[in-house]
Amino acid sequence: MDMRVIPGSEMLRRLNYRGNDIVTKDNTFTMIESFGQLIFYKGELNLENSVCVILKNNDFTEGRGPMVVHKIYKNYDKAVSYILTQSGIMGSKQSSTNYVGVNISGSPYCVSGFNGYEIKIMTVE
């Protein structure tokens, strides 16, 4: 697993987004590469006292159901590895997706997830 903090403008460049010229407020993102999948989280992540909560779409027929807690892992790579062994919505192939853009305030954003799954990082107290 490779994890680093990058500015939002670099995230947009890595994902070949062409709206970099309209970024006026640059945010930071944590970029994690695991098993060839790029996932972005807003801000700086600290995985030291955290767990990876896997959320699964409750409706694998149409993909319209709510996301419910499915599994919890201490290790991020194990969470990604588990998801990649699962089929996606309607039995489709598993992969990660990143939806990026620049909002009306000029800040870059990214929504990352998998086909029917998400990984949320939760701090353990």
- The total number of residues shown for the chain amounts to 125
The letter for the amino acid at 40 is F
pLDDT at residue 21 greater than cutoff 80? no
Predicted local confidence at residue 73, as pLDDT? 97
Alpha helices in 1-125 (DSSP H): 8-14, 76-84
Write out the two tokens for 52.
């990876």
pLDDT for 20 beyond 70: no
Give the tens place of pLDDT for each residue, 44-54: 988 889 999 99
Tokens of 27: 């945010």
Q: What is the pLDDT of residues 53-112, one digit of tens each?
A: 999 999 999 888 899 999 999 999 999 999 999 999 999 999 999 998 888 888 888 989
Beta-carbon contacts of 35 under 8 Å, excluding residues fewer than 6 positions away, are 77, 80, 81, 84
